[in-house]
């Protein structure tokens, strides 16, 4: 293992990311959380601050990246290989919820920050990255328009599920999992309908953007 003094800023960011949320739940996504995480890991506080030069948004970005990595560790490709696409995506989203569960207050604070207009572009990138990580873990190799439409749809499903999850008090987050199942069912029905309409020559009339809007802001 490398000496801490030899670590790059990227390596320091990756080391601190998994524990940042625990401190952000109490101190907010602020320098105090970085200082506490740095002390826990034996990193100089000034150097740790350099690793998160953009402040809260950098901290949240790093935390979400650690969730991506831990999700893949929890559900390796060989463990998903025998599942249907629907079950793969469901399992991957539920794995993310389980990883986020201990830090729901930090997640609530992160969502509030990401919702700020000044963070709209970064927020969209993080949502896309999470969806891309899930599709890749599910074995998706599409390179055509389907590559983008799959990720757009999953981004909307995941974002909507998170909004339910942060306030979910049900046992085992059953309400969030049920909500996710309904959203995925909606997607599957839409895909079947789209295929049937396209086969009849009417596919151009379908609006993916309008459908995604309904997924993102559904009636619970």
pLDDT confidence of residue 77: 86
* Domain range list for the chain: 4-216
Q: CA 75 from chain center: how many Å?
A: 15
Q: Per-residue pLDDT tens for 26-78?
A: 999 999 999 999 999 999 999 999 999 999 999 999 999 999 999 999 998 88
Q: Which of 55, 58, 94 lies closest to 74 in space, CA to CA?
A: 94
Q: Which of 24, 26, 25 lies closest to 56 in space, CA to CA?
A: 24
Question: What does the alpha-carbon distance between residue 123 and residue 15 come to, in Å, rounded to a whole number?
Answer: 22
Query: In degrees, to the nearest 5, what angle opens at C-alpha 23 toward C-alphas 17 and 29?
Result: 75
Residue-wise DSSP of 189-208:
HHHHHHHHHHHTT-GGG--H
Whole-model pTM: value is: 0.84
Instruction: Give counts: helices (H), strands (E), the chain.
Output: 11, 0
List C-alpha distances in Å: 17 to 34, 105, 187: 9, 16, 33
pLDDT score of 89 more than 70: yes
Question: What does the alpha-carbon distance between residue 98 and residue 172 come to, in Å, rounded to a whole number?
Answer: 9
List the structure tokens of 212.
């995604």
**Residue 205: pLDDT band with limits 50, 70, 90:** very low
- 4-216: which CATH number, 3.90.550.10, 3.40.50.970, 1.10.10.10, 1.10.357.10? 1.10.357.10
């Amino acid at each position: 293992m490398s000496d801490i003094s030899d670590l790059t800023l990227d390596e320091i960011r990756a080391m601190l990311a998994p524990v940042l949320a625990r401190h952000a739940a109490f101190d907010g996504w602020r320098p105090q959380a970085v200082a506490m995480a740095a002390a826990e890991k034996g990193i100089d506080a000034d150097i740790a601050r350099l690793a998160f030069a953009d402040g809260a948004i950098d901290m949240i970005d790093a935390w979400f990246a650690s969730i991506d990595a831990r999700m893949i560790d929890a559900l390796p490709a060989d463990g998903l290989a025998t599942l249907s696409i629907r079950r793969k995506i469901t399992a991957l989203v539920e794995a993310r919820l389980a990883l986020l569960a201990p830090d729901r207050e930090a997640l609530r604070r992160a969502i509030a920050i990401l919702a700020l207009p000044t963070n709209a572009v970064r927020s969209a990138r993080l949502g896309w990255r999470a969806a891309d990580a899930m599709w890749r873990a599910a074995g998706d190799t599409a390179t055509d328009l389907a590559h983008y439409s799959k990720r757009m749809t999953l981004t909307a499903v995941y974002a909507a599920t998170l909004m339910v999850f942060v306030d979910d008090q049900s046992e085992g987050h059953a309400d969030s999992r049920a909500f996710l199942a309904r959203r995925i069912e909606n997607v599957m029905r839409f895909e079947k309908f789209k295929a049937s309409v396209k086969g009849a020559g009417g596919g151009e009339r379908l609006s993916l953007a309008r459908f995604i809007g309904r997924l993102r802001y559904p009636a619970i």
